[in-house]
């Protein structure tokens, strides 16, 4: 369920002969590609240069002529050694008495030496300076123009898909039902989203049933959700299910270097859709053209804003827009212009969330259809071990597991392959060849052991599933994997405190054993501090500050908007927030130190086992951690 993949229309199903005929027909009307354009222009420029050289050779550089000075020319005239001359402006060409020719340059006014030529009986011919060389001069003057035109045609063909004159033509692809083999059966995990979209498809199939009840189909629907949740896949399913023309495009297709091109393409796209109504227009990555107006330095003359204004007018303007449904997708609804989201334009906002545990199992079933799975593969267990994974992550997980099995020469994909692929997605590929000293390995083992013991003992922490001290490609020198038993939509204060205490367990273990600290807890501190900040400023979990939300949304900053909001809180409140955050973090730190002091022997045993095996999980890990116990006063 990879949302970000560019969608290309599928070839229609049929026999080999039909497909061959279709390919031959397309090839007859296929424009030359960019490489052919460049080659053709290079040939034209080369031909022009060769022509210039040829004409220059023919008209300006006679090979049999000897160049002499003007003084030598006068001496030859005086000695009566010249038979005839041809004068073209300041250029003098002549023939000697005994044969041979010469060329020289003299004054433009020939009267100074003409009398001497007549006295010696030299045959004199006058020609215009440009005579015989007009074509060469014309080519010289037109050469820059020809080069500019050639480069212009080349650039326009590259930018406009080999069609330099159709600047304002829509770039939307017409996708008919027979070109898409994706259906609603391929979209799993969020049934309520599928139901809302199926309603629109049903209306297009049987509009009379709804019109009898006075119902009108929504003019527009916008799919909103995190990257990878399947928004684009859902649109492909609509194209595969609907019996109407489906125009697919992306927001970036409307923005070009020429002013007015985007608005013209919007008009052209809606014109085509209206001519083939009922129809559907799908705009992927709507935020590329739908950002809030007035946020840029260009004002109303900004190209992106002109495109947005035209889109707003076409969706719900003065003219009725009957039979055309607009479908869009974005993962940034917070930056969209409010005029886009009002009723009459995008009437329905459909949120495509990350799937829950049941949805993840359904998605894994879809991606496991074409894979040979071993009997020990339990998709429900994999669904529980992948909290927070979206459709694209699960698709990647299944593919990674199949690649691992193939690399190891297996006939089927086993559960161990899936579990290792989870680690690869979460932490990266193992880097067993990374040179780590035994002393550093020992510190990493203590660090991860501290996380694991506290995660095991605290009642509101997620259960520890696996510990590893093998470095990973994403920068982790080791990790402790904790997985929740069930999906949680509300988090209590005690759960947040236990999570912070677990995060601080690694640093606390280093302090306890070595009486000094390392840089390995940097990411743990970052996460713990962020939780403490949210508890104080957003969740109202500080007794000193009380149930007050002091946070503000940190959306993207646009040019033209206010960048810094000063004096939002008084210095007294800011100081109080800092003290409360420090109090919460230090309280969790003290709690972690007390727990690890009480389980120092278990920490040593866990360290020894990790240095020996590098990874611990399953019953062996549970057996070790079951020996740990909370201090007597807790």
Q: In terms of DSSP H, where are the helices of 248-356? A: 261-275, 303-316, 338-341
Helices (H) and strands (E) in the chain, counts: 22, 14
Strand locations in 432-484 (E): 464-468, 479-482
CA Rg value for the chain: 39
The alpha carbon torsion through 612, 614, 619, 622 (nearest 10 deg) reads 90
Residue 223's DSSP bridge partners are: 329, 350
Residue 546's DSSP bridge partners are: none
- Whether the CB-CB separation of 229 and 237 falls below 8 Å is answered with no
CB atoms within 10 A of CB 124: 13
b/e code 590-628 from CB counts within 10 Å (16+ = b): ebbbebbebbeebbeebbebbeeebbbeeeebeebbeeb
> Could you give the CA distance from residue 432 to residue 478 in angstroms, rounded to a whole number?
12
- Nearest alpha-carbon partner for 522 in 537, 506, 500: 506
What phi and psi values does residue 299 have, to the nearest 5 degrees?
Answer: 65, -145
- Whether the CB-CB separation of 350 and 224 falls below 8 Å is answered with yes
CB atoms within 10 A of CB 358: 14
Q: List CB contacts of 406: < 8 A, sequence separation 6 or more.
A: none
Helix (H, G, I), strand (E, B) or coil at 217: coil
b/e code 140-155 from CB counts within 10 Å (16+ = b): eeeeeeeeeebeeebe
- Nearest alpha-carbon partner for 239 in 165, 294, 183: 183
- Whether the CB-CB separation of 148 and 45 falls below 8 Å is answered with no
Reduce the secondary structure of 495-553 to three states and give it as a string.
Answer: HHHHHHHHHCHHHHHHHHHHCCCCHHHHHHHHHHHHHHHHHHHCCCCCCCCCCCCCCCC
Angle, helices 493-503/438-457, rounded to nearest 10 degrees: 160
- Nearest alpha-carbon partner for 440 in 520, 361, 377: 520
Find the catalytic residue in 448, 561, 580, 615: 448
Catalytic annotation on 448?
A: yes
Q: In terms of DSSP H, where are the helices of 123-206? A: 134-159, 191-205
Helix (H, G, I), strand (E, B) or coil at 236: helix
Question: Which residues are catalytically annotated?
Answer: 448
């Amino acid at each position: 369920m990879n949302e970000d993949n560019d969608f290309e229309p599928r070839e229609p199903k049929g026999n080999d002969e039909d497909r061959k005929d279709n390919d031959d027909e397309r090839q007859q009307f296929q424009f030359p590609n960019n490489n052919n354009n460049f080659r053709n222009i290079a040939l034209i420029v080369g031909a022009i240069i060769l022509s210039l050289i040829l004409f220059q050779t023919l008209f300006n550089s006679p090979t049999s002529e000897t160049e002499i000075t003007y003084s030598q020319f006068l001496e030859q005239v005086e000695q009566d050694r010249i038979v005839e001359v041809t004068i073209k402006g300041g250029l003098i060409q002549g023939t000697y008495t005994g044969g041979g020719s010469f060329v020289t340059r003299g004054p433009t006014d020939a009267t100074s030496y003409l009398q001497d030529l007549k006295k010696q009986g030299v045959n004199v011919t006058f020609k215009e300076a440009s005579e015989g060389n007009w074509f060469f001069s014309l080519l010289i003057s037109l050469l820059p123009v020809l080069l500019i035109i050639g480069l212009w045609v080349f650039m326009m063909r590259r930018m406009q898909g080999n069609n330099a004159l159709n600047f304002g033509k829509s770039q939307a692809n017409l996708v008919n039902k027979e070109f898409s083999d994706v259906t609603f059966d391929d979209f799993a995990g969020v049934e309520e989203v599928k139901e809302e979209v199926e309603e629109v498809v049903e209306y297009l199939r049987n509009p009379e049933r709804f019109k009898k009840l006075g119902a009108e189909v929504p003019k527009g629907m916008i799919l909103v959700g995190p990257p990878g949740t399947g928004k684009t896949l859902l649109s492909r399913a609509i194209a595969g299910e609907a019996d109407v023309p489906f125009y697919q495009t992306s927001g970036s297709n409307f923005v070009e270097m020429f002013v007015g091109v985007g608005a013209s393409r919007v008009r052209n796209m809606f014109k085509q859709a209206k001519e083939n109504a009922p129809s559907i227009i799908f705009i992927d990555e709507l935020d590329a053209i739908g950002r809030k107006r007035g946020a840029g330095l260009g004002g109303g003359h900004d190209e992106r804003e002109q495109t947005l204004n035209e889109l707003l007018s076409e969706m719900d303007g003065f003219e009725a827009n009957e039979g055309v449904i607009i479908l869009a997708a974005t993962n940034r609804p917070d930056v969209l212009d409010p005029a886009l989201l009002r009723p009459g334009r995008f009437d329905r906002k459909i949120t495509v969330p990350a799937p829950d545990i049941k949805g993840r199992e359904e998605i894994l079933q879809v991606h496991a259809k074409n894979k040979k799975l071993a009997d020990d593969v339990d998709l429900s267990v994999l669904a529980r071990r992948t909290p927070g994974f979206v459709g694209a992550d699960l698709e990647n997980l299944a593919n990674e597991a199949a690649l691992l099995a193939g690399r190891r020469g297996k006939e089927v994909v086993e559960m161990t392959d899936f579990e290792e692929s989870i680690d690869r997605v979460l932490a990266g590929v193992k880097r067993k060849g990374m040179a780590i000293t035994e002393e550093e390995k020992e510190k990493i083992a203590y660090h991860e052991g501290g996380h694991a013991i506290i995660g095991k003992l605290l009642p509101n922490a997620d259960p520890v599933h696996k510990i590893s001290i093998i470095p990973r490609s994403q920068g982790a020198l080791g990790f402790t994997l904790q997985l929740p038993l069930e999906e949680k939509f509300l988090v209590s204060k005690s759960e947040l405190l236990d999570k912070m205490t677990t995060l601080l367990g690694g640093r606390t273990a280093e302090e306890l054993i070595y009486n000094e600290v390392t840089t390995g807890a940097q990411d743990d501190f970052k996460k713990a501090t962020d939780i403490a900040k949210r508890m104080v400023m957003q969740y109202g979990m500080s007794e000193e500050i009380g149930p007050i939300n002091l946070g503000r949304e940190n959306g993207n900053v646009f040019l033209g908007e206010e960048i810094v909001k000063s004096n939002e809180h008084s210095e007294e409140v800011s100081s109080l927030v800092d003290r409360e955050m420090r109090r919460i973090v230090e309280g969790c730190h003290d709690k972690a130190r007390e727990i690890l002091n009480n389980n120092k022997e278990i920490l040593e045993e866990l360290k020894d086992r990790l240095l020996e095996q590098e990874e611990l999980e399953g019953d062996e890990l549970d057996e070790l951690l079951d020996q740990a116990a909370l201090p007597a006063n807790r």
